A and B are shown apart, each in its own frame.
Chain A
Amino acid sequence: MWVFELLFSLLGILSFLSIGLVFDFYVLTRRKLDFNLAVFFGLGMGVVAVFQMLAAVLQISINSIFVYCITGLSIVIMFADPLLNKQLKRALLQSLGKLKGRNILFLATGIAALVLVAAITFSHTVWGFDAIDKWLAKAYAFWFDDGITRNNLHGYYLADDPNLWPITAAWFYHFLGRASEFWVQMIPFTALVCIVGDFARRVLKSGALGFFWMVMLVFSPFLWGAVVLENYSGNADLLLGLYFLLAFGAIFEKRFLYSAIFFGFGVLTKNDGIPALLGFCLLFPVFGFLTREKISKRPYIVALGFLFFNIAWKIYFSLNNRYLENNLLLVLQQRPIVEYTRYSLNAFREEFRFVARWGVGFLVIFFFLFTHFKAVFENKWFLFALILFGFQFAGYIAVFYVTHDDQATQIATSIFRLVLQVYPAMLLFAYELSVYKSRRESK
Chain B
Amino acid sequence: MIRRRFHCGAPQYHGRERLACPYPAVYGSATPMTEGSTQAEAEPARPVEALPPEVAEGLYIVIAAFNEGKAIGDVVRELLPRYPHVVVVDDGSRDDTRHKAHEAGATVLRHMVNRGQGAALQTGISYALRQGARFIVTFDADGQHRPDDIPALVLPIARGEVEFCLGSRFLEHGDKVPFRRRMVLFAAIIFTRITSGMRLSDAHNGFRAFSRKAAECIDLHLDRMAHASEIIDQLRATELPYKEVPVFIRYTAYSLAKGQRGSAAFRVAFDYLIGRVLR
Chains A and B are bound partners? no
A binding-site residues for B, Cβ under 8 Å: none
